[in-house]
Amino acid sequence: MTTEYWRWKEYNWKDPDIDWKEARNITVGVDVGSVSSQAVVMTDGELFAYSNMRTGSDSPESAENALNWALEDTGLTLDDIHYAVGTGYGRINVPFADRAITEIACHGRGANYMYGPTVRTILDMGGQDCKVIQVDEKGKVQEFLMNDKCAAGTGRGMEVFADLLEIPIEEIGELSFQIEEEPEPVSSTCVIFAKTEATGLLRQGWPKNDVLAAYCSAMALRVVALIERVGVEEDFAITGGIAKNAGVVQRLTKQLGLVALEPKHDTQIAGALGGALFAQTLAVKEGRVSA
């Protein structure tokens, strides 16, 4: 079988120091995205467990798989959960959700928790879209812009590129700095034309790492244009899978002339985390748990 370089690792995590049996308010947020799905479990406002997996062809099944994996070995079952919020592209197809909330609002709230109340501008580089969100000190959205018409500058674009150059996706960022001189960005970030351009450059004798650098840089440039349409107010933070790619992040922040906040948790869970936080409030508001 040929190696699939784009296949990022799926995983789950739980906080061993939290005993959920003592918690009064247990909620879950499930973010069914176009490429990946996450489930986050919160107990009394604390992050307790999460999972991150690839989305399958069936949205309800992806939501259930993500939840089951987050609950694995915790002793918790769906019956113990007071409130569930679905978010992301597949949010209306989450069978166990009590409410669906857009990923824009969830990302705002999730980033506020992950990065603290000083975060004002969030760039979410998702699997098949790119969002710029401005929030207030409570994580409430003040302005947003989403681009999901074009795959350039998205996680899926990077996955395709990983396969093209036969480099594991997690290594792209680091390798893109192992170069003698920063190359010009590639002219097209189009996922379809990436192959033509990348193979063209390799044929001209470019080292692979230089091609990676040129692509990371082009992706950063493209996203900068979107961010500038909304404007950047600091503090600035990046969520989503591409936030883990230093090759894009460092070039992006350099072009913007600012630094991005260091994430306290996995950047891919921001949406689901926001969903679980909304669920914490809604569980009290709707009388599922006492205030």
Partner 1 sequence: MKANYGYHDGSGDFFITIDSNLCTGCVECISACPADVLEMITDDYDDVVAAVKEEHRKKIKYSCAECKPVDEQPPLPCVSACEPGAIIHSW
Residue whose pair of structure tokens reads 């748990």 in the numeric block: 289
Are the beta carbons of 112 and 227 closer than 8 angstroms?
Answer: no
**127 vs 263, which CB is nearer to partner 1?**
127
Query: Whose Cβ is closer to partner 1: residue 145's or residue 246's?
Result: 145
Write b or e for each residue in 78-114: b if 16 or more Cβ atoms lie within 10 A of its Cβ, otherwise e: eebbbbbbbbbbbbebbeebbbebbbbbbbbbbbbbb
The nearest distance, CB 52 to partner 1, in angstroms, is 23
- Taking the complex as a whole, the smallest distance from the CB of residue 231 to partner 1 amounts, in Å, to 11
Cβ distance to partner 1 smaller for residue 230 or 284: 230
Cα R_g (the chain), whole angstroms: 19
Distance of alpha carbon 211 from alpha carbon 171, whole angstroms: 14
Q: How far is the CB of 134 from partner 1 (least distance, A)?
A: 8
User: Closest Cα partner for 235 from 154, 139, 125, 106?
Assistant: 139
Least distance (Å) between residue 208 CB and partner 1: 27
For residue 111, the SS3 value is helix
Our CB check for partner 1 shows the closer of 148 and 174 to be 148
> Which CB, 24 or 229, lies closer to partner 1?
229
Reply yes or no: is the peptide bond before residue 124 cis, omega within 30 of 0: no
Distance set, CA 81 to CA 22, 59, 126, 132, 149 (Å): 13, 21, 27, 31, 36
CB 279 to partner 1: min, Å = 13
What is the b/e burial string over 2-16, where b = at least 16 CB atoms within 10 angstroms of the residue's CB? eeebbebeeebbbee
Task: Answer whether 40's CB lies under 8 Å from 28's CB.
Answer: yes
Residues 125, 103: Cα–Cα separation, whole Å: 12
- Which residues are at the interface with partner 1 (CB under 8 A)? 101-102, 104-105, 140-150, 190, 225-226, 229-230
Nearest to 76 by CA among 86, 68, 84: 68
Distance CA 117, CA 102 (A): 21
Nearest CB to partner 1, comparing residues 103 and 266: 103
Residue 152 or 167: the one with the smaller Cβ distance to partner 1 is 152
Is 188 or 253 the residue whose CB approaches partner 1 more closely? 188
Cβ at position 111, least distance to partner 1 in Å: 15
CB of 256 to partner 1, least distance (A): 17
Q: From the CB of 245, what's the least distance to partner 1, in Å?
A: 21
